[in-house]
Amino acid sequence: MSSIPLQPFLILALILFCIGLFGALTKRNTIIVLICIELMLNAVNVNLVAFSKYGAHPDITGQVFSLFSITIAAAEVAVGMAILIAWYRRKHSVNIDDGNDLKG
Amino acid sequence: MNGEFLAFLILSGTAILGGILMINLKKVVHMLLSVVLTFVSLAGIYVLLSAEFVAVVQILIYSGAITILLTFGIMLTDHKAEEDRVSSRIRAALAGLGVIIFFFTVYAGIRNLYFGPGAETLHADNTRKVGESIFSHYVIPFELVSIVLLVALMGAVVLTRRREGEDQ
């Protein structure tokens, strides 16, 4: 059942995290930045599930933790989307460079 | 090369392909759809890691709920927006350099990691084990998460509500 070692999963998660980090740092559209953050959270979830199988103490806890992480990510997207729509209603822009002031 | 390794190669290839397409495509909706490819491939990766319940939750929440939410967000805002890639090239180069340094730093850390052969029994009765663990050991975090979800829902409603006297 476990013919693949731990490293390929960790390297896959690392590559996805790097893609998400690069996108979050360089993209100008705020929705794309949110998507990139989701990608980074997904990479972390892959790490959690991989360690739940191949860790020093293989246990179901890693999967449970990733479920909590997915839930918090969903809440984060909902709040982020609400902030984005409220912000778009004022500024009529989704460009992240336009969001450089706190005043409404 | 056995079937499991082949499945891992295909799934990880499509996952990384989705991420790279997300970086390189120009239209926002196309970017979102390419990242859905990554989410679905990661569900397959979870099945390989004997986490069937997490895989189903991944498909339901990520490629279902979050994608729909982000699609509505795109449609309600500037859905014709396109990325102009030439605007900040030096910034992108600096970010890429930092990300590459980060990649090799972490890679040096995980290169020789080995803990053991891995668990053999996690895939048997997976959902039952997850449920027993959540409802016996992690009851308080579970209830706290429900409160977090409720607060996030109410916060989203309050944030997007149109107030009195606000211009369109």
> pTM of the full predicted structure?
0.89
Residue B63 covered by a domain: yes
Residue B12 covered by a domain: yes
Residue that is written with structure tokens 């916060």 in the block: B155
Residue B57 covered by a domain: yes
Instruction: Please state the rounded mean pLDDT for residues B92-105.
Output: 92
Residue that is written with structure tokens 């989203």 in the block: B156
Same domain for B62 and B10, yes or no, is yes
What is the pLDDT, as a whole number, of residue B164? 66
Domain that holds residue B67: 1-85
CATH no. for residue B45?
1.20.120.1200
pLDDT of residue B80 exceeding 80: no
Residue A4 covered by a domain: no
Residue B128 covered by a domain: yes
Tell me if chain B has a CB within 8 Å of the CB of A15.
yes
Same domain for B144 and B78, yes or no, is no
- Rounded CA-CA distance B103/B106 in Å is 5
Residue A68 covered by a domain: yes
Cβ within 8 Å of B, A 27-46: 27-29, 31-32, 34-36, 38-39, 42, 45-46
What angle separates helix B126-136 from helix B139-160, to the nearest 10 degrees? Answer: 90
pLDDT tens digits for chain A (104 residues)? Answer: 457 788 889 999 999 999 999 999 888 888 889 999 999 999 999 999 999 888 888 888 889 999 999 999 999 999 999 988 888 888 777 787 777 777 65
Residue A85 covered by a domain: yes
Q: Are B60 and B69 in contact (CB under 8 A)?
A: no
Instruction: For B19-31, write each residue's pLDDT tens digit.
Output: 999 988 888 889 9
Residue A9 covered by a domain: no
Residue B114 covered by a domain: no
Cβ within 8 Å of A, B 44-73: 45-46, 48-51, 53-54, 57-58, 61-62, 65-66, 69-70, 72-73
Other C-beta atoms closer than 10 Å to the C-beta of A104 total 8
Residue A17 covered by a domain: no
**A84 vs B8, B77, B110: nearest CB:** B77
Single out the residue of B68, B79, B6 nearest to residue B33, CA to CA. B68
What is the pLDDT, as a whole number, of residue B76? 84
Q: Are A38 and A73 in contact (CB under 8 A)?
A: yes
Residue B116 covered by a domain: no
Tell me what the pLDDT averaged over chain B comes to: 86
Residue A37 covered by a domain: yes
**Total number of domains in chain A:** 1
- Rounded CA-CA distance A63/B49 in Å is 10
Domain that holds residue A82: 29-93
Q: Which residues of A touch B62 (CB under 8 A)?
A: 38, 42, 70
- Total beta-carbon pairs less than 8 A apart between chain A and chain B: 231
Residue A2 covered by a domain: no
Same domain for B9 and B76, yes or no, is yes
**A82 vs B133, B148, B159: nearest CB:** B159
pLDDT of residue B110 exceeding 60: yes
**Total number of domains in chain B:** 2
Cβ within 8 Å of A, B 118-147: 118-120, 122-123, 126, 129-130, 133-134, 138, 141, 145
**B160 vs A14, A63, A82: nearest CB:** A82
Tell me if chain B has a CB within 8 Å of the CB of A86.
yes
Q: B78 and A93 in contact by Cβ < 8 A?
A: yes
Tell me if chain B has a CB within 8 Å of the CB of A21.
yes
Does A28 or B107 have the greater pLDDT score?
B107
- Rounded CA-CA distance A49/A60 in Å is 9
Residue B134 covered by a domain: yes
Domain end: B54, B85, B116, which one?
A: B85
Residue A19 covered by a domain: no
Q: Are A78 and A55 in contact (CB under 8 A)?
A: no
Residue B113 covered by a domain: no
pLDDT of residue B60 exceeding 60: yes
